[in-house]
Amino acid sequence: MITPGGVARRRPARAAVHGRRAAGHSLQHGWFTRRAAGKREDMRFGYKLMAEAFDPKELIRQAVRAEEAGFDFVEISDHYHPWLEEQGHSPFAWNVLSAIAARTERLGLATGVTCPTVRYHPAIIAQAAATLAIISDGRFTLGIGSGERLNEHVVGQGFPSVRVRQEMLAEALDIINLLWQGGYQSYQGRYLQLEDARVFDLPETLPVIAVAAGGRHAAELAATHGSGLFATEPRRDLVDAYTGKGGSGPKYAEIPMAWAPTVEAAAQEAHRTSRWSLTGWKVMSELPNPVNFAAAAETVRVADVREKFVCGPDPQPYLDAARTYAEAGFDHLVLQNAGPDPDGFLEFFSRELKPRW
């Protein structure tokens, strides 16, 4: 609701932008749910741009190649630090996406994911996402989540508990949706505030907001405050929680892969740069620096990586992994390649995977 003083109090953000969101939402759905006679065509495949592992110019080059290879969209991680020192990079994701928008024509763009509560204020993310949606001609999806200490502690504001982070995320979504209504807006939340702010440049079609979820509460938040779901596991319970609360937008999920001419070469490289991912989300969200992730992953073996990542040159395990996520209800599958040869993987997708999906 809006108080007599013009300050918005917390309420379901979805209702705040119903008119504009409803129009935009159907347009976005038109992008990813086309169907042909007798053939389902609502599955979309994305390429994960690992901003922790490559410099910004290389990420832009990979995105252009991904479009040429037939990917539907790219998704980029929004980090301040890499997970491991060996990765060696962490450019500003929003600059990279803007450059990709200028270099591509049909490729969808997404953050995977941005935290709009500590390192960024949601007013900044509302403005940035609206601008990127305009310059990309409606190709942008705003993926957001509650963040990791690795990236958020750098501004010296501490890192809240899981419960508080989820409450802050709900307030951030309120603010973003409120600003996307247009006009001057104010908001007084428990954690976040907004004073007489207006995003002047709004796109005709608002971006989908895909909310990252590792549990039921966050999946329900994706339905009530967002317009899409984002996950990293093939969990049907997350999809059910999202749709059970009325969620009907795209459902994104990342699939860990490592392409190389041999299984061993793929697993070795994935172990070198991505062993951190086996530490578990409770650990991943709380460690402050790359050195801590290196210590936490000391016991991770190459054999452990082979169990989590699809490795090697055989297309069938990749197809099987994608099917597992699709059967869980996800329709936007993000292929996250941790192998040593990005161009080889892109060619592999174009030649061996895309024709079979």
* Cβ atoms 62, 47 nearer than 8 A: yes
pLDDT of residue 28: 36
Average pLDDT for 182-193: 99
Question: Is a pLDDT exceeding 90 seen at residue 220?
Answer: yes
DSSP state of 38: T
Average pLDDT for 138-156: 98
Give kind and range of the element (H or E) at residue 129. Answer: helix 122-135
Average pLDDT for 206-215: 98
pLDDT of residue 40: 44
Q: What is the DSSP string of 249-272?
A: S-EEEEEEEE--SSHHHHHHHHHH
Residue 69: which pLDDT band, with cuts at 50, 70 and 90?
A: very high
Active site residue 204: no
Global pTM value: 0.90
Question: Is a pLDDT exceeding 70 seen at residue 85?
Answer: yes
Give the Cα separation of 325 and 235 in Å (integer): 8
Question: Is a pLDDT exceeding 70 seen at residue 199?
Answer: yes
Residue 82: which pLDDT band, with cuts at 50, 70 and 90?
A: very high
| β-pairing verdict for 185-188 and 193-197 | antiparallel
Ranking 10-19, 55-64, 84-93, 179-188 by mean pLDDT, the lowest is 10-19
Average pLDDT for 127-145: 99
Q: How many residues does the chain have?
A: 357
Q: Encoding tokens for residue 73?
A: 């969209």
* Cβ atoms 31, 228 nearer than 8 A: no
Residue 8: which pLDDT band, with cuts at 50, 70 and 90?
A: low
Question: Is a pLDDT exceeding 70 seen at residue 234?
Answer: yes
pLDDT digits (tens, 9 = 90+) for 274-293: 999 999 888 999 999 999 99
Cα angle: 303, vertex 304, 305; to 5 degrees: 90
Average pLDDT for 189-217: 98
Find the catalytic residue in 67, 75, 79, 167: 79
Question: Is a pLDDT exceeding 80 seen at residue 61?
Answer: yes
Residue 74: which pLDDT band, with cuts at 50, 70 and 90?
A: very high
| Alpha carbon distances (Å) from 316 to 40, 48, 134, 310 | 21, 20, 39, 10
Average pLDDT for 300-312: 98
Give kind and range of the element (H or E) at residue 108. Answer: strand 108-111
The separation between CA 160 and the C-alpha centre of its own chain, rounded to angstroms, equals: 21
Find the catalytic residue in 148, 152, 171, 269: 148
Q: In what order do the strands lie in the sheet with 7-8?
A: 7-8, 185-188, 193-197
pLDDT of residue 202: 99
Question: Is a pLDDT exceeding 60 seen at residue 338?
Answer: yes
Question: Is a pLDDT exceeding 90 seen at residue 15?
Answer: no
Please give the backbone phi and psi of residue 187, each rounded to the nearest 5 degrees, phi first. Answer: -155, 135
Mean pLDDT of the chain: 91
Question: Is a pLDDT exceeding 50 seen at residue 136?
Answer: yes
pLDDT of residue 31: 33
pLDDT of residue 357: 87
Q: What is the DSSP string of 46-86?
A: EEEE-TTTS-HHHHHHHHHHHHHHT-SEEEE---SS-SSTT
pLDDT of residue 6: 40
Map out the domains of the chain with their CATH numbers.
15-33+40-356 (3.20.20.30)
pLDDT of residue 102: 99
Question: Is a pLDDT exceeding 80 seen at residue 59?
Answer: yes
pLDDT of residue 18: 34
* Cβ atoms 82, 52 nearer than 8 A: yes
Residue 103: which pLDDT band, with cuts at 50, 70 and 90?
A: very high
Residue 233: which pLDDT band, with cuts at 50, 70 and 90?
A: very high
| β-pairing verdict for 332-337 and 228-231 | unpaired
Active site residue 148: yes
pLDDT of residue 27: 30
Decide: residue 251, CB within 10 A, 0-12 exposed, 13-18 middle, 19+ buried: buried
Strand partners, 108: 73
